[in-house]
Structure 1
Amino acid sequence: MCYDISFSSNIQLITDYLPDLIVDGQLNFDFDMAIHVMAQAYRKYPVIINDGGAYKLMPFEWGVIADYMNTPEKIKQSRQYMCNAQSEKIINDKKSFWRRIRSKRCLIPVTGIFEHREIKGWKNKVPYFIHLTDRPMFCIPGLYHYAPIPDVETGEIKGTFTLITRSANSVMKQIHNGGPNVFRMPMFLPKELELKWLQSDLTDEGIQEVLDFEMPSEQLDYWPVFTIRSTKPRPDSKEKTAPYEWPNLPPLGIDESTEQKSLFS
Structure 2
Amino acid sequence: MCYDIAFTTNIESIFKYLPQLQANLDIDFDPTWHKIGMSYPQWPVITNNDGLKLQKFTWGPVPKMLDTLEKVKRQRQLFLNARSEKVLENGTMWNAIRHQRCLVPATGFFEYRQIPGWKNKVAYYIKSKEQDIFFIAGLWAFSNSWDVDKPTRIPTFTLLTRNANQVMTQIHNGGDNAGRMPMMLTNELAQRWLQPELTDTDIREILQYELSPAQLDYWPVNSVRKVKPDDAAVIAPVTYEGLPDLVV
Which range, TM-score by smaller chain?
A: over 0.9
What SS is found at the alignment partner of 1:113? strand
Letter in 1 for 2:64: D
1:118-151 C-alpha deviation (Å, 9 max, x unpaired): 0122221111111111111111000001014675
Structure 2 residue 245 is matched with structure 1 residue 248: no
Structure 1 Cα separation of the partners of residues 148 and 228 of structure 2: 33
- Note if contact 1:129-1:223 (Cα within 8 Å) is conserved in structure 2: yes
- Count residues in correspondence: 247
CA shift in 2, pair 1:195/1:232, >3 Å: closer
Structure 2 residue 159 is matched with structure 1 residue 163: yes
- Note if contact 2:33-2:232 (Cα within 8 Å) is conserved in structure 1: no
Which residue of 60, 63, 66 maps to 1:66? 63
Structure 2 Cα separation of the partners of residues 132 and 90 of structure 1: 25
Structure 2 residue 110 is matched with structure 1 residue 114: yes
Letter in 1 for 2:233: E
Which residue of 45, 48, 51 maps to 2:46? 48
**Which structure has the highest strand share of the two?**
2
Instruction: Give the match for residue 35 of structure 1.
Output: 33
Percentage of matched positions with identical amino acids: 46
5+ long unaligned stretches in structure 1: 254-265
Structure 2 residue 69 is matched with structure 1 residue 76: no
Instruction: Give the match for residue 258 of structure 1.
Output: none
CA shift in 2, pair 1:24/1:133, >3 Å: same
What SS is found at the alignment partner of 2:185? coil
Letter in 2 for 1:140: I
> Residue 154 of structure 1: CA displacement?
7.7
TM-score (norm 2): 0.92
TM-score (norm 1): 0.87
Structure 2 Cα separation of the partners of residues 116 and 154 of structure 1: 38
Letter in 1 for 2:17: Y
What SS is found at the alignment partner of 2:43? strand
What SS is found at the alignment partner of 1:207? helix
Structure 1 Cα separation of the partners of residues 152 and 184 of structure 2: 32
RMSD (Å), alpha carbons: 2.1
Structure with higher Rg: it is 1
- Note if contact 1:127-1:226 (Cα within 8 Å) is conserved in structure 2: yes
5+ long unaligned stretches in structure 2: none
CA shift in 2, pair 1:96/1:160, >3 Å: same
- Note if contact 1:69-1:148 (Cα within 8 Å) is conserved in structure 2: no
Instruction: Give the match for residue 135 of structure 1.
Output: 131
Letter in 2 for 1:213: Y
